[in-house]
Amino acid sequence: MTRLLDIPAARTLRTVDDLVKAGLAGDARALEGVMAAYATAISPAIAGLIDRADAADPIALQFVPSVTELDVRQEELPDPIGDKTHEPVEGIVHRYPDRVLLKAVSVCPVYCRFCFRREMVGPEKDGNLTPAELESALAYIRAHPEIWEVILTGGDPFMLSARRAAALTRALEAIPHVKIIRWHTRMPVADPGKVSAEFVEAIRSRTKAVYVAVHANHARELTAEARAALGRMADAGIVLLSQTVLLKGVNDSVEALADLMRGLVEARARPYYLHQLDLAPGTSHFRVPVEEGQRLVRELRDAVSGLAQPQYVIDIPGGVSKAVAALSDVDTGADGKRLRGRDGIWRDYPARG
């Protein structure tokens, strides 16, 4: 494998010129329109994983801009899961009764080319909450005792400094009805050194349950450094979950999914969601048909431990809820129920009711 970090300078790649110098862009002019429309950042940790000799490298596909992103389909939406529809105050998304999203920042260490918030994130969006907006968001949470869980997202909330992350944790700790603090992040994969002992201490809580959901899509993302970052959190008592997006050319095989899910479990992160790709603009080249996703998930269920099984879900456009997309192993007919075994054979189930 040819690794980008064989090149001496290691810094985040953000411009067309950066990509050209790194050997990641052939036709620079063709990429200018894409990069003007959607933010680009490829961290050294991610850039070092890219096999530049492989045109179909699964890491490159996720992060290197492509002209195919300018192909926007009629069904694609700028806000595919309805964040704005459910935003009572700036920075809060209240879609489900007992939990809210708190979007403190709009920037990320890397920008995934399939991101469902790609119209809303990036350094040029200036969407980071001001101190007044953050206080307003916290006031909303305080005023709604039904909120049991706060999910910190963005952007990537691990972009916060340890000091600001600690202040946010302490503010949420002070709200009696909030019992769960959950952080969603790409940082352990994108810049594992940022998940320092100081930062881990900043997000720990002695009064609330803290969860971190790490986004990983391919087993090669789980480097030794990434596993060490996850280990620092697990050792501190933080519960680790994972989120994965089903992507054509990246993880749309049983083998790729099995390797990833086993790797996550080995790193003490429990597979949580496998997302059907949202209908974000310019992402159709990544989309796996739902029927193919259902087949993959069924075969994965037959192939790996129950510990390594994510829940296959589709976010209903508009933000109604998630729909569970996996095929059932229970069939109900006029003569009762049948159960499908790991061998694919359906067997009658004698119990009634």
**Positions marked catalytic:** 95-96, 99, 108, 112, 115, 117, 278, 315, 322
Q: Are 64 and 113 in contact (CB under 8 A)?
A: yes
Q: Are 239 and 248 in contact (CB under 8 A)?
A: no
**Angle at CA of residue 102, ends 101 and 103, nearest 5°:** 110
Strands (E), 282-326: 311-315, 322-324
Torsion of CA 47, 49, 51, 52, to 10 degrees: 10
Sign of the CA dihedral running 185, 302, 277, 325: negative
Q: Is the peptide bond before 155 cis (omega within 30 degrees of 0)?
A: yes
Q: Which residues contact 338 (CB under 8 A, 6 or more apart)?
A: 330, 331, 346, 347, 348, 349
Cα gap 244→186, rounded to integer Å: 11
Q: What is the DSSP letter of 304?
A: S
Q: Six-digit token pair at 272?
A: 């949580």
Cα gap 331→345, rounded to integer Å: 12
DSSP states of 225-287: HHHHHHHHHHHTT-EEEEEEE--TTTT-SHHHHHHHHHHHHHTTEEEEEEEPPP--TT-GGGP
Q: Are 313 and 275 in contact (CB under 8 A)?
A: yes
Query: Computed over its alpha carbons, how large is the radius of gyration of the chain?
Result: 21
